[in-house]
């Protein structure tokens, strides 16, 4: 009887069909986070194994890096939806990840399933870090007088750090406590009580925009420039040092695109750049094939036939184009009003998705969902789990984390 009771309390799913090694490390490790959490209820053995840090890191590595959007709704039911675009399914869809109570929050950085968010209040900007999957949330120190440049994992220590640039606009709250000149770079370790640490005075100014993490370095491309001899600013997250890299040498015909903007992104493990003209009808994509020698190659030209795209849709005067990548698959995403259109590299309309919010917005960030537990979260101010500013939805209740 005791043996039978033990067997009932510790069932072995798929016993006699598939080895547990395959079930755990080939099937469960590839499931989306919500599905994995539901599978933990099957038996204690699955819950124990799938809760280890080793498994969660492997699970995170199998998750796709999905383009991130926000959906805003104002009025009585005021909220913001954090949304990912998933093109892998038979029918592409925009996937709700979390709902926030404040629509004024905006994502400013993404790293390993973490989002850094900010909100402007009065004369200062408040920063927060959250994991939309585990619903963990905490305040970051008030960074008044600092320009936030990015978040990165510091591989020698396993810590997550913020890269900051000290501006001259106003006196900082750490006046007299932070060493170094005002025109200098600093790092701040998440969960640490220490003030930002000065790392030097390179002759490069803070770059606005979204950095791209490739080969353990953050990369920025200047948004505004005067000549075609552009340089990319790279920050080595291991040595915490800066360097300049060559950007693509653009032909004269392509140079006019840069009046609107050029943007970096990651493509199949390589640094890539896309640029579009002012009319947003042509997108060129370049890839850094040889990282060490800084050799770029022209990859694709995507011609956007606007009339074809908007047929059957409500056309807006304002529309945006963002290029993302999952592996070697290029995604050209066109956004206007409540619509998100997926265009392939041949300029063909692949899918269209509509969100019921009145303020759909596509960002330059991508999110690779993670259930990994980080030790810095409990050390943050106002640390919360599954509480405000997250709103519990019906979907969450069916598969709570």
Confidence (pLDDT) at 177: 53
In percent, the amount of the chain with pLDDT more than 90 equals 41
CB 57 within 8 A of CB 66: no
SS (H, E, C) 380-398: CEEEEECCCCECCCHHHHH
Confidence (pLDDT) at 380: 94
Mean pLDDT of 300-320: 67
E runs forming strands in 32-145: 66-73, 79-86, 93-100, 106-111, 114-121, 124-131, 136-139
Instruction: Give Cα 401 distance to the centre of its chain.
Output: 20
Confidence (pLDDT) at 311: 60
What's the CA gap between 386 and 396, in Å, rounded? Answer: 10
Q: How confident is the model at residue 259 (pLDDT cuts 50, 70, 90)?
A: very low
Residue 14 pLDDT > 50, yes or no? no
Distances (CA, A) of 301 to 57, 259, 353: 36, 17, 24
Tell me whether strands 136-139 and 146-154 are parallel, antiparallel or unpaired.
Answer: unpaired
Residue 391 pLDDT > 70, yes or no? yes
Mean pLDDT of 8-34: 76
Peptide bond between residue 251 and the one before it cis (omega within 30 degrees of 0) = no
Confidence (pLDDT) at 9: 41
Please say whether the dihedral angle defined by the alpha carbons of residues 157, 161, 163 and 167, taken in this order, is positive or negative.
negative
CB 59 within 8 A of CB 48: no
Confidence (pLDDT) at 203: 63
CB 67 within 8 A of CB 49: no
Residue 71 pLDDT > 80, yes or no? yes
CB 307 within 8 A of CB 321: no
> 363 exposed, middle or buried (CB, 10 Å; 0-12, 13-18, 19+)?
middle
Distances (CA, A) of 54 to 3, 25, 27: 31, 11, 16
Give the model confidence (pLDDT) of 332-360 as tens digits.
998 877 788 888 888 888 888 888 777 78
The residue with greater pLDDT, 250 or 206, is: 250
What's the CA gap between 149 and 225, in Å, rounded? Answer: 19
Tokens coding 265: 């992104």
Residue 17 pLDDT > 80, yes or no? no
What's the full length of the chain, in residues?
401
Confidence (pLDDT) at 394: 47
Mean pLDDT of 43-67: 95
Other Cβ atoms closer than 10 A to 56: 18
Mean pLDDT of the chain: 81
Residue 318's contacts (CB-CB under 8 Å, 6 or more residues apart) are 336
Q: How confident is the model at residue 93 (pLDDT cuts 50, 70, 90)?
A: confident
User: What global pTM score does this model have?
Assistant: 0.86
Confidence (pLDDT) at 7: 41
Given the structure tokens 């006699």, which residue do they identify?
A: 16
Q: How confident is the model at residue 212 (pLDDT cuts 50, 70, 90)?
A: very high
SS3 at position 140: coil
Please say whether the dihedral angle defined by the alpha carbons of residues 272, 276, 280 and 282, taken in this order, is positive or negative.
negative
The residue with greater pLDDT, 77 or 256, is: 77
Delineate the domains of the chain, giving CATH numbers in brackets: 2-54 (no CATH), 63-398 (2.120.10)
Q: Which of 147, 138, 125 is nearest to 196 (CA)?
A: 147
Region of 279 on the Ramachandran plot (φ > 0 left; ψ -120 to 50 alpha; else beta): alpha
Residue 174 pLDDT > 70, yes or no? no
Give the model confidence (pLDDT) of 98-123 as tens digits.
888 888 888 999 999 999 999 887 76
Residue 155 pLDDT > 90, yes or no? yes
> 87 exposed, middle or buried (CB, 10 Å; 0-12, 13-18, 19+)?
buried
Tell me whether strands 159-166 and 146-154 are parallel, antiparallel or unpaired.
Answer: antiparallel
Q: How confident is the model at residue 181 (pLDDT cuts 50, 70, 90)?
A: low
Residue 26 pLDDT > 90, yes or no? yes
Tokens coding 181: 């000149």
The residue with greater pLDDT, 207 or 299, is: 299
Residue 67 pLDDT > 90, yes or no? yes
Mean pLDDT of 183-199: 88
Tell me whether strands 282-290 and 295-303 are parallel, antiparallel or unpaired.
Answer: antiparallel
Q: How confident is the model at residue 137 (pLDDT cuts 50, 70, 90)?
A: very high
Residue 315 pLDDT > 70, yes or no? no
Sheet architecture: strand order including 93-100: 93-100, 79-86, 66-73, 361-367
Residue 179 pLDDT > 90, yes or no? no
Q: Which of 117, 115, 119, 116 is nearest to 104 (CA)?
A: 119
Q: How confident is the model at residue 384 (pLDDT cuts 50, 70, 90)?
A: very high
Give the model confidence (pLDDT) of 265-303 as tens digits.
999 899 999 988 777 778 899 999 999 999 999 999 998
What's the CA gap between 22 and 237, in Å, rounded? Answer: 35
Mean pLDDT of 169-175: 48
Distances (CA, A) of 269 to 135, 290, 292: 29, 12, 14
Q: How confident is the model at residue 95 (pLDDT cuts 50, 70, 90)?
A: confident
């Amino acid at each position: 009887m005791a043996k039978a009771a033990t067997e009932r309390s510790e069932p072995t799913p798929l016993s006699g069909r598939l080895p547990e090694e395959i079930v755990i490390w080939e099937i469960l490790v590839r499931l989306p986070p919500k599905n994995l959490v539901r599978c933990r209820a099957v038996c204690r053995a699955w819950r124990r194994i799938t809760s280890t840090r080793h498994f969660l890191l492997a699970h995170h590595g199998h998750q796709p890096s999905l383009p991130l959007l926000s959906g805003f709704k104002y009025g009585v039911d005021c909220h913001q939806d954090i949304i990912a675009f998933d093109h892998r399914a038979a029918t592409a869809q925009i996937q709700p990840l979390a709902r926030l109570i404040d629509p004024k929050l905006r994502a400013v950085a993404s790293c390993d399933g973490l989002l850094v968010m900010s909100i402007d209040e009065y004369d200062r900007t408040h920063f927060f870090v959250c994991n939309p999957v585990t619903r963990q949330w905490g305040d970051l120190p008030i960074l008044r007088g600092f320009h936030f440049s990015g978040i990165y994992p510091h591989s020698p220590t396993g810590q997550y750090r913020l890269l900051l640039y000290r501006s001259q606009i106003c006196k900082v709250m750490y006046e007299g406590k932070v060493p170094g000149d005002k025109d200098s770079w600093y790092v701040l370790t998440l969960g640490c009580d220490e003030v930002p640490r000065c790392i030097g005075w390179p002759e490069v100014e803070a770059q606005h925009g979204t950095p791209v993490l490739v080969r353990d370095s953050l990369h920025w491309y200047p948004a505004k420039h005067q000549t075609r001899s552009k340089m990319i600013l790279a920050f080595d997250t291991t040595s915490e040092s800066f360097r300049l890299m060559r950007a693509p040498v653009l032909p004269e015909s392509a140079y006019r695109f840069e009046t609107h903007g050029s943007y970096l992104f990651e493509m199949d493990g390589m640094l890539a750049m896309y640029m579009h003209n002012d009319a947003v009808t042509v997108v060129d994509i370049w890839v850094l094939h040889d990282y060490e020698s800084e050799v770029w190659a022209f990859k694709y030209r995507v011609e956007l036939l606007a009339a074809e795209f908007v047929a059957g849709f409500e056309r807006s005067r304002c529309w945006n184009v963002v290029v993302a990548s999952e592996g070697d698959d290029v995604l050209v995403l066109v956004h206007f009003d409540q619509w998100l259109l997926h265009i392939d590299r041949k300029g063909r309309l692949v899918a269209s998705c509509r969100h019921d919010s009145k303020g759909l917005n596509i960002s330059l960030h991508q999110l690779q969902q993670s259930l990994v537990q980080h030790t810095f979260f409990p050390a943050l101010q106002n640390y919360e789990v599954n509480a405000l500013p997250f709103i519990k939805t019906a979907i969450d209740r069916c598969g709570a984390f």
